[in-house]
Amino acid sequence: MASNQSHRLRDGGIVDRSQPLDFTFDGKSYSGFSGDTLASALVANGVKLVGRSFKYHRPRGILTAGSEEPNALVELRTGARKEANTRMTVTELYDGLEAASQNRWPSLKYDFLSVNQLASPIFVAGFYYKTFMWPAKFWEGLYEPLIRRAAGLGDTAKQPDPDHYEKAWAHCDVLIAGAGPAGISAALAAGRSGARVILAEEDFAVGGRLLADGGEISRKPASEWLTNAMAEIAAMENVRLMTRTAVFGVYDGGTYGLIERVNDHLPVPPAHQPRHRLWRVVAKRCIVAMGAIERPVVFGNNDRPGVMMASAVRSYIGRYGATPGKSIAVFTNNNDGWKTVDLAEAAGVKIAAVIDARDDLPPELLARGKEGNFSVLNGRVSSADGGRDGITKVRIALNGGATAQVDADCLAMSAGWNPAVGLTCNHRGKPEWREDIAAFVPGNCPEGMTVAGAANGHFSLKDCLSGGHRAGAEAAKAAGMSGKPGTAAKSSAEEYGQTPLWHVAGKGKSFVDQQHDVTASDVKLANLEGFQSVEHLKRYTTLGMATDQGKTSNISGLAIMAEVSGRSIPETGTTMYRPPYVPVSIGALAGHHRDEEFHAVRLTPSHHWAEEQGAVFVDTGLWKRAQWYPRPGEKDWLESVNREVLTVRNGVGFCDVTTLGKIDVMGSDAGTFLDRVYINTFSKLAVGKARYGLMLREDGIVMDDGTTSRLSEDHYFMTTTTAKAGPVMQHLEYCRQVLWPDLDVQLTSASEQWAQFSIAGPKTREVLKAVLDPSEDVSNDAFPFMGAREVKLRDADITCRLFRISFSGELAFEISVPCAYGDAMARNLMKAGQPHGIIPYGTEALGVMRIEKGHAAGNELNGMTTAGDLGLGRMMAKKKDYIGRVMAQREELVSPDRMVMVGIKPVNKLDKLYAGGHVIPKGAKPGPDTDEGYVTSVCFSPMLDQYLGLGMVARGRDRIGEIMSVCDPLHGKTYDCEICNPVFYDPEGGRQRG
Amino acid sequence: MAKLQWNEAAPLQAVAEARRHGVSDGDAGVTAGEIRGFQLVLLLARRGQADAMRKTAKTQFGADPGNEPRAVSGKNGCTMIWSGPDQFYALTPKAKSKPVAQLQSKFAKSASISDQSNGRSLIRISGPNVRDCLCKMLSVDLHPDVFSIGDAVSTQMAHMAVNVWRDKDDAFSILVFTSFAESLWRAILDHGAEFGIDIETPEQLS
């Protein structure tokens, strides 16, 4: 199939002509070779038009051959794997690749919205701000949807991504970003010195510019040096080469972000392999050897297909054996551009002309035209003529004032090179201007970073090799290595000889940023309108945004701004460089943590048993808890929950409460410690007793509650709420380590050691007797309310802890068994409780019963309430100090007007109460002025056969019996409610003490 | 009533059955399995009693646990794993362990003891690709020059708190909270799949 590769050269390059690969672009079939990128394969097939531009829908071709590409973006793949805005210049070709151009309708050749060009006077800088201002209400309904349809590049996949992504860590002494001549030299030197080295290269092939430009190293072809160097690197166990891996950011403490495109070069990743892997590399030193980016010249119609960077032309010819044109004109302001002439001629490609802008053009270059049979013109390209299928002619303003024109189907342009300083500025370092090369070079780099080669403004191969070697040796030494780095490879010196050239006035739009369609006149307009700061220029014109982050446009843009605002380029400055330096997929940033693995999940000991029972689970923080246990025939959750509540209140049920935080508080000062943490006293609690405790934050607001038992003289067992288990542990550790290091207290979480079940209901004792050793007496006398002690299980030598505490308001115990027996405990409770009609109940029934009993929980312990608000003010000890005591006495916190916890009951028993409703005086107009409280928790109470709620109401305790209104705008309802005692059920508490 | 059955369920009871996971051809790059049948107690030195605790540890467990991040072998198969300043875990085969109450009385003046035998799952992971697998979950440098045999660390894996130590060149032990065990297990399987994982039959600690 190679025969149809009209622009493929017979030989040369590092593509494998024995391995043809078929692919399609916009549905048309083509073929390329192994080693091609999608861009090089299209170049080989003579395809020039590859996309339409962002705003004006202008025809665009391929500008570069690398990561900096602004134009040649495609939708790669189809279906769920479709990826928009993929740079074809870094897309490795594979057999069966499918790509489609973007931003065109109905087709790339005949794009309807190219009429936008006619309206171009309104698409100027800041056009969104100027155009879509009025009327404001049109924005959401009209303007935004319209703009979204018209603008934007590419279309995203509509299905979930079927591939997986992962994140990984790596550690090394020296991280080297870029495996061109400088990076490879650095890796050799550092590796020989004994350092652990990671050499990361974004490309799939190593060698950087050597792959295209060749050259001589140590008097031999550069390719030979490259082969030998890579063989030496491969043999060094301490050097790890990572290709397809770009360093994209510098983070704190010597941590670097790398994105490895593990399987982008295949249609589908092999089984169990990720598509991308995000690396966090911790390195003692880092060497940036990422080379430089060639800069375009801004002239008329400089965006026409066929206008290409000179270095890209060399890459396509030299590396891929494909020529972007049959007759190439070269436009340069430096000697490096002339390399294109040598390379093209060597490959048998015709040079149409060389246009060199330098007034002091060296005579030997002038003479080259005669040898090569092409004209050398001293001047500047002012515009390129031609249509969507490529340029046909370039117009030239000669330095003397005359004009000329040259027929060519490709223009290779070079305005010099910009060192890739991006990473060096990630810690807010500012690059420095170097007048001799008219470019910014790295300034104050992040700690531990050095720069070598072209990235440091040293463009010659000689300097890249020696600079890389020096940087590698120094970095290894700084990382503590003492091995010998060997010597640097040598190459002959080159003269760069550039004269700055940014912009040539001429006919046609002159693009600065081709990705965002920002022109030279936009920059000038921004200046006129006062947006002179580069940061303002960027936001106002969108210069330098999107996938390429202005790699080919930023410096030209600010150079033009400098010119029109009468400042120097360094005075104008650069915008902030932030990570990522190259696009990073969101999938890679998420890694393993998506879908069900979005976060770690905690399972209770009875989880698998509950699954067998058909339980419905609810996420409670990281925990999965059984929410209710539906039975056949129950029509909805409410029916299940009502049954569970009624069974517990009339018989017996059990609930897995393992999720409560459990903390061992130990040591001879444990009692004192708890006295200072809780508002009530624990040091005098008798061994074998439990007590409800409440702790405050330093500011006097309630932090958490729970029961704490004294297991022995110097061992307390604290429980916390599920939600606050972590924060309470953190708080206690802070108190122990920072506030009172003098106390003899040891803390550790025991949450995971114990499976804890609440057994509740009037028949609890019968069930307990059946699961406990017959010697255990759980009668009211032997085991009174708030008792706590170790007990033995029936038929086993397992020691457990039993606590007589109740959240439901029923006769209840909580039993702790070692976690391994949690599953068995659930099964045995069912077995032993069967004669008594035992059922498992979930968190919903638990919630209903606690609301019926008026127990405050998370909705009331909401970070705004005091102990007094919750009706627990009397627990605050008078004779001791504790955290929060003083601040809790602040005037506002003890005001009689505060909202306090009350019960709320709809007057009409059929009204359904929702949490979040606002409490206002009966009949008042809802509003901030009449707002006197809010509903915090609601449930349907099967005991009272109506909805009930808890809420916070101003002066609530004095208003028991008052009829107020609850306004619920969310559900569009207002209804009358009675303010009542929050303890709706068994207010005397006889049941739990029975 | 019939006798009650009190079957123990290990943290990974439901999932850690012997099988091959991930890439199925060739030798597995990673081997992983749950270790059961151990006593795990956390010893926290009483105020000012760290030295006394270490001294008692020497007699009770057969070695000085030290006070740096190491896993130290003692007698009766005991391993003492550092878990913070002046605190360590003592991991002992259940069959050779002393009752917690007995340990509490031996360490009465020097340390508080919390029984965590049921609070952690112990996972052993090894194989030629073990580091390639672990580096996707652990931020710690596992290079043998940096993290050698017997080195221990208290850190997190896939956002879950763990204690990790190196048993051999390519073998590591991981202690994770019981409730998180299945989540961590899935993370290990997912991250090791590309190397092929041999899941071993759960073994008793010996």
B interface mutation test: which of A749, A752, A830 has the most B CBs within 10 A?
A: A752
CB contact under 8 A, A603 and B112: no
Residue of A nearest to B142 (CA): A171
Q: Which helix (H) or strand (E) holds B179?
A: none
Rounded to two decimals, the pTM is 0.94
Closest among A705, A287, A590 to A455, alpha carbons compared: A287
Q: How much is the mean pLDDT over chain A?
A: 94
Q: How far is A710 from chain B (nearest CA, A)?
A: 15
Closest among A35, A29, A41 to A14, alpha carbons compared: A35
Q: What is the mean pLDDT of residues A340-356?
A: 96
- Tens of pLDDT, residue by residue over A870-893, are 999 999 999 999 999 999 999 999
Residue of A nearest to B193 (CA): A272
> Taking the CA of residue A352 as centre, how many other CA atoms within 13 Å lie in the half-sphere pointing to its CB?
22
Percent of chain A with pLDDT over 70: 96
CB contact under 8 A, B11 and A832: no
Phi first, then psi, for residue A223 (nearest 5°) are -60, -35
Chain A window 242-281: which residues touch B at a Cβ cutoff of 8 Å?
Answer: 271-274, 280
CB contact under 8 A, A770 and B184: no
Which amino acid, residue A593? H
Asked if pLDDT for residue B51 goes beyond 90, the answer is yes
DSSP string, A301-344: TTTSTTEEEHHHHHIIIIITSB-S-SEEEEEESSHHHHHHHHHH
Q: Which helix (H) or strand (E) holds A920?
A: strand A918-921
Residue A817, CA distances (Å) to A772, A797, A822, A842, B118 in order: 11, 12, 6, 19, 10
- Tens of pLDDT, residue by residue over B17-29, are 899 999 999 999 9
Confidence of residue A710 (pLDDT cuts 50, 70, 90): very high
Q: What is the mean pLDDT of residues A349-370?
A: 92
Chain B window 98-157: which residues touch A at a Cβ cutoff of 8 Å?
Answer: 111-112, 114-120, 135-136, 138-141, 143, 146
Using CB atoms, which residue from A603, A668, A743 is nearest to B182?
A603
In the three-class reduction of DSSP (H, G, I as helix; E, B as strand; rest coil), residue A249 is classed as strand
The two three-digit tokens of residue B44, written as one number? 């926290």
- Tens of pLDDT, residue by residue over A384-418, are 999 888 999 999 999 989 999 999 999 999 999 99
CB contact under 8 A, A770 and B1: yes
pLDDT score for A128: 63
Which chain A residues are within 8 Å of B1, Cβ to Cβ? 770, 832
Which amino acid, residue B30? V
CB contact under 8 A, A742 and B47: yes
Q: How far is B193 from chain A (nearest CA, A)?
A: 6
CB contact under 8 A, A752 and B120: yes
Which chain B residues are within 8 Å of A251, Cβ to Cβ? none
CB contact under 8 A, B179 and A752: yes
Chain B window 39-98: which residues touch A at a Cβ cutoff of 8 Å?
Answer: 42, 44-47
Which chain B residues are within 8 Å of A755, Cβ to Cβ? 118
Closest among A659, A653, A713 to A685, alpha carbons compared: A713
- Let me know: does A415 contact A503? Beta carbons within 8 Å: no
Q: What is the mean pLDDT of residues A761-776?
A: 96
Instruction: Label residue A685 exposed, middle or buried (CB < 10 Å: 0-12, 13-18, 19+).
Output: buried
Asked if pLDDT for residue B160 goes beyond 70, the answer is yes
Closest among A551, A81, A69 to A276, alpha carbons compared: A81
Which chain B residues are within 8 Å of A823, Cβ to Cβ? 7, 9, 13
* Cα gap A175→A186, rounded to integer Å: 10
B interface mutation test: which of A237, A609, A746 has the most B CBs within 10 A?
A: A746
CB contact under 8 A, B9 and A820: yes
Q: What is the mean pLDDT of residues A40-59?
A: 93
Ranges A82-91, A148-157, A591-600, A679-688: which has the least confidence: A148-157
Closest among A30, A44, A35, A38 to A17, alpha carbons compared: A35
Q: Where are the beta strands (DSSP E) in A350-389?
A: 350-356, 375-387
Q: How far is B76 from chain A (nearest CA, A)?
A: 23
Q: How much is the mean pLDDT over chain B?
A: 96
CB contact under 8 A, B112 and A667: yes
Asked if pLDDT for residue A2 goes beyond 50, the answer is no
Asked if pLDDT for residue A144 goes beyond 80, the answer is no
Closest among B150, B115, B117, B137 to B32, alpha carbons compared: B137
Asked if pLDDT for residue A34 goes beyond 80, the answer is yes
Tell how many helices (H) and how many strands (E) occur in chain B.
4, 13
Provide the H-helix boundaries in chain B.
50-61, 100-106, 130-134, 181-192
Asked if pLDDT for residue A703 goes beyond 70, the answer is yes
CB contact under 8 A, B193 and A272: yes
Q: Say yes or no: B168 contacts chain A, CB-CB below 8 A.
A: no
Chain A window 668-687: which residues touch B at a Cβ cutoff of 8 Å?
Answer: 668-669
Q: Is the dihedral of CA B80, B82, B85, B87 positive or negative?
A: negative
* Cα gap A855→A842, rounded to integer Å: 17
Asked if pLDDT for residue B168 goes beyond 90, the answer is yes
> How many interface pairs between A and B have CB atoms less than 8 angstroms apart?
153
Which chain B residues are within 8 Å of A669, Cβ to Cβ? 47
Beta bridge partners of A354: A330, A376
Q: How far is A14 from chain B (nearest CA, A)?
A: 30
Neighbour-count burial for B64-83, b at 16+ CB within 10 Å, e otherwise: ebebebbbbebeebbbbbbb
Residue A725, CA distances (Å) to A360, A732, A818, A820, A934 in order: 77, 11, 19, 21, 27
CB contact under 8 A, A601 and B183: yes
Asked if pLDDT for residue B1 goes beyond 60, the answer is yes
Residue B151, CA distances (Å) to A648, A730, A824, B40, B57 in order: 52, 27, 37, 19, 19
Which amino acid, residue A243? T
* Cα gap A248→A193, rounded to integer Å: 27
Asked if pLDDT for residue A115 goes beyond 80, the answer is no
Q: How far is A662 from chain B (nearest CA, A)?
A: 11
| 3-state DSSP percent of chain B in helix, strand and coil, to 5 | 20, 35, 40
Q: What is the mean pLDDT of residues A475-479?
A: 98
Ranges A135-149, A501-515, A712-726, B118-132: which has the least confidence: A135-149
* A307-309/A410-414 β-pairing: parallel
Chain B window 18-47: which residues touch A at a Cβ cutoff of 8 Å?
Answer: 22-23, 42, 44-47
Which chain A residues are within 8 Å of B115, Cβ to Cβ? 753
CB contact under 8 A, B112 and A715: yes
- Tens of pLDDT, residue by residue over A733-748, are 999 999 999 999 999 9
DSSP string, A554-610: HHHHHHHHHHHHT--HHHH--PPP-S-SS---HHHHHTT-SGGGSS--EE-TTHHHH
Asked if pLDDT for residue A1 goes beyond 50, the answer is no
Chain A window 369-428: which residues touch B at a Cβ cutoff of 8 Å?
Answer: none
Asked if pLDDT for residue A151 goes beyond 70, the answer is no
pLDDT score for A112: 74
Which chain B residues are within 8 Å of A754, Cβ to Cβ? 118
CB contact under 8 A, B7 and A823: yes
* Cα gap A159→A144, rounded to integer Å: 24
pLDDT score for A71: 94
Residue of A nearest to B22 (CA): A272
A interface mutation test: which of B5, B24, B114 has the most A CBs within 10 A?
A: B114
Asked if pLDDT for residue B102 goes beyond 80, the answer is yes
